[in-house]
Every structure is written in C-alpha cells, then in structure tokens.
Amino acid sequence: MKLNQTLYYLYPLLNLYDKKLKSYVYKLGLKELGVKDLTHPDLIDVLFCKCKPSVNSKYIEEYFKDEDYFVTDYLHSDLEHHIYVFKLPEGTTNKFLKGKYSELVPKDKIEEVYTKTVMNNNIEVYTKNYSVVSQRESYKAVFLDMLNEKFNTNLTLNDLDSNAELDFPPKLSDEII
C-alpha cells in the first residue's frame, strides 16, 4: 500500500458515509489512494481507490455500488488494477492540497471520522491524523520538531501561530493515481 497524505487524511472520510466502507474498500485489494487521476481530470472532490481485483470483488462492490457516495469505477490504464471513485464533501480536495487539514471535517465530526487513539506498547497514544486534524495542543511540539529538523531552524512554540496546521501540505505528485 502506498503511504501518502490521502491515506492519512482523506481515506478516513469514508467513515462519514458508512463505518464499514473503509474495510470493504480495503478488501477489494486496495493498493493506492489519490485525489487526482490524470486520465479523469473532470472528477473533483473525489477519492480515487486503486485496487487489485479478486474473485470476491463483485460481491464486495454490491455493498456500495448503488449508494450516493459512489461516483464511478473503471479499469486503470495499466489494465491490472481497478479504480473505484467515492465522493468527498465539497471543497475537500482544495483544502487538502493547501494542507488545511483542520478544515477537512467539522469539529464535532472529528472523532466519528478519525481514530483517536491506538495502543502502542500497552500505552494509549493519540494518532497523528487525529492530532493534526483536531490541532491537539500537545502535538504542536512534535510538529515544531519536524519543522526545525526539515528547515534547520530553532523555532519555539511561541513562533508557531496558534491556528497553525500541524503537518506539511501534501506533495501533489504523491497524491495522483
């Protein structure tokens, strides 16, 4: 599975439609996610899911094919993968590409969409995507360390805007199927 910002910040938005949808898409042999497919530039505010079909794909597709959140599907140009396209809330792609992660979902929906915590060595820890989207105060120091390392600076928490996004914007080339 290709790891990109789409996986961390947009794939969880499928929870807005149905809590089981992510697992069904994963069972389709999910290999890659993106917000753009150059062969379909007309599709905006959608999530492209590149999958490796299996004998069970048709049964899994029946779960969502008639739903409003399902846009279309087609054979990928490599002729080995299938692309499933799901609707995202209006304006989501633009916010995402600008790195406006805290604006992707209303504050009251964050816990419904993103996994809040996971167990790590028997310790409950907040997930990165939840921390970024919710702009958790304690995560600011983590982001500041990443910022200082990447740009070789010595910024402090006082230098960070109180409403600053807590992750770098995506690199568009990583988010294209």
Q: What is the residue extent of each domain of the chain?
A: 5-95, 101-169
pLDDT tens-digit map of 80-127: 899 999 999 999 999 999 999 999 999 999 999 999 988 888 888 899
Question: Is the pLDDT at 56 greater than 80, yes or no?
Answer: no
pLDDT number for residue 124 = 85
Mean pLDDT along residues 2-26: 93
pLDDT number for residue 53 = 80
Torsion of CA 119, 120, 126, 130, to 10 degrees: -80
Question: Is the pLDDT at 47 greater than 80, yes or no?
Answer: yes
User: Whole-angstrom Cα distance, residue 104 to residue 99?
Assistant: 10
Characterize the bridge pairing of strands 123-126 and 117-120: antiparallel
Percentage of the chain modeled with pLDDT above 70? 99
Name which of 36, 42, 46, 44 is nearest 85 in CA terms. Answer: 46
pLDDT number for residue 32 = 95
Question: Is the pLDDT at 162 greater than 90, yes or no?
Answer: no
Which tops the pLDDT comparison, 60 or 170? 170
pLDDT number for residue 79 = 85
pLDDT number for residue 81 = 92
pLDDT number for residue 71 = 96
